[in-house]
Copies of this chain bind each other. A is one copy, B any other.
Amino acid sequence: MPHGQENMGSSVPTLEDVAARSGVSTATVSRCLNTPSQVSATTRERVMRAVSDLGYAPNFGARALAAKRTNTFGAIIPTMENAIFARGLQAFQDELGENGVTLLVASSSYSPQQEEEQIRSLVARGADALLLIGQDRTPKTYAFLDKRKIPYVVAWVFDRTNTRPSIGFDNRQAMKALADEVLEMGHRHLGVITAEREGNDRARGRFEGICDAARDHGINPDSLAVEETTYAIDNGAQAFARLMACTPRPTAVLCGNDVFAAGALMMARKMGLRVPEDVSITGFDDIELAEIVTPALTTVHVPHREMGRRAAQKLLSLRAGDDPGPSIELATTIQWRESLGPAPARN
């Protein structure tokens, strides 16, 4: 293409086309787009007209390549299928949006290996910073992040023993608090539905919390009826059915999350069991679902929105070069509803 001649035809307009059409250099056009104050009002106007006439949109890759900064953050969450992360992520996104950064979301299907791939992919795409869920990942992954100097924050957990910037809550303690309540209500035979604990520190923490509470109440954690399964309502239902077949039959089933609990509830109904009269069921997370089901779930309320918002703030400040500062612990509370009741009288 002869220099200075505007790109004709239907192909994608470039900075150069805009420059040609408005009679300035590409540098000026670039400045118009990025630092408008450095351009005189008259030329700016002319350039902007050319931009809209041409329907020009900057090429992201080229921009990232040249500027080494994308104004894009990434988040890798274990799943999009369930609403567990939706609310927190929304808050995260909103906060970022207000600061002019775009969010790219990927899901790992709870697979550490897939997560690593996703991390690489987001980084290759130029993510300036990352939101990660939980601490469990290979040293290699962390090494990669460190080597690349990508700021990240680990959310949904708070672990005082760890030095990584994190923002979340103590899963173990939170679940213990709920389990304590269950035990205080006289339940002696507990069933547990947990997500796969391998590679999932949150699930492990929650399970440990139940064990802690059991021990405190003179119950051997080994006597717990435990079902481990993957994340889906129906799996919760199946696990509940298996639990109900145990001897002695649990009078309360503690679920690692609300999704399992919803499944359990569904299965209880199907089996003709009344909740909480015949069996109590509890959840964890307090997602929307918890309030919708019948009976409504007694569960652990997690401040998702605040977590998302503050994760965004921390990441923004990390990118700006600020010191990580201490990890942030958020408090959980027990959300009392209807699915937990006293242990049925012995029969």
Contact = CB atoms under 8 A, between A and B. Distances in A.
Count this chain's copies in the assembly: 2
A124 to B, nearest CB: 4
Given A12-B148, A61-B64, A288-B233, A81 B81 contact: no
Given A291-B266, A293-B292, A59 B55 contact: no
B59 A65 contact: yes
Interface stretch (A19-27, A86-94, A193-201, A204-212): A86-94
A246 interface: no
Contacts of A262: 292
Contacts of A59: 65, 124, 126
A269 B289 contact: no
Contact of A10 (B62, B120, B144, B147): B147
Contacts of A266: 291-292
Contacts of A149: 10
A125 interface: yes
Nearest to A119: B57
Nearest to A65: B61
Interface residues of A, number: 45
A87 to B, nearest CB: 7
Nearest to A85: B80
A317 interface: no
A148 B13 CA distance: 9
Given A10-B147, A120-B57, A292 B233 contact: yes
A82 interface: yes
